[in-house]
Amino acid sequence: MIELTCIVCPKGCRLRVDDQNGYKVTGNICARGEAYGREEALDPKRTVTSTVRILFERQKEPAAPVAPAIPQPLPLVSYFRPDLPQIEARLPVKTSAPISKAKIMDVMAEINRITVRGPIRIGDVICKNIAGTGADLIATRSMLIPDA
């Protein structure tokens, strides 16, 4: 017997999945809870969130100082190195759909090999069908200029 709490709706039903009797689900109030309990027992899935390396080419300094029009948000992660010809930062990403928990390590291994060049807009597909899961890796933040 597998016991878990349903997270499909705010009610939080205490589900019991009988893995010895055809994965029969009890304790659910709605059909969505039954489907969630069965899926969680047979093939649990999760959305993967992470970051990938993003590079921006270093811009030449302007001749005259330019006043910033809009204050920029604080950087998520930035590795500003004046000695390199580019600026490296981290771009937040996620899978477009939940993937099997068994494939998470494969997805993360592929994410760790990815480097993109800026600018990137929120929703841009970074990698199609990542690790053969059927889900795409998408940007969850626009990065049009490098974080300082």
Note the pLDDT tens digit of each residue in 84-115: 666 778 899 999 999 999 999 999 999 999 99
Neighbours of 87 (CB within 10 A): 21
pLDDT digits (tens, 9 = 90+) for 139-148: 999 988 765 5
**How far apart, in whole angstroms, are the C-alpha atoms of residue 117 and residue 28?**
47
Q: How far apart are CA 73 and CA 54, in angstroms?
A: 17
pLDDT in tens, 113-134: 999 988 899 999 999 999 999 9
pTM, two decimal places:
0.73
104 close to 95: Cβ distance less than 8 angstroms: no
State the CATH class of domain 46-58+75-139: alpha beta
**All structural domains of the chain with their residue ranges:** 2-42, 46-58+75-139
Given this model, what pLDDT does residue 74 score?
Answer: 46
| Tens-place pLDDT, residues 28-68 | 999 999 999 999 999 999 999 999 998 887 666 655 555 55
Taking alpha carbons only, the member of 109, 113, 118, 108 closest to residue 141 is 118
pLDDT of residue 76: 46
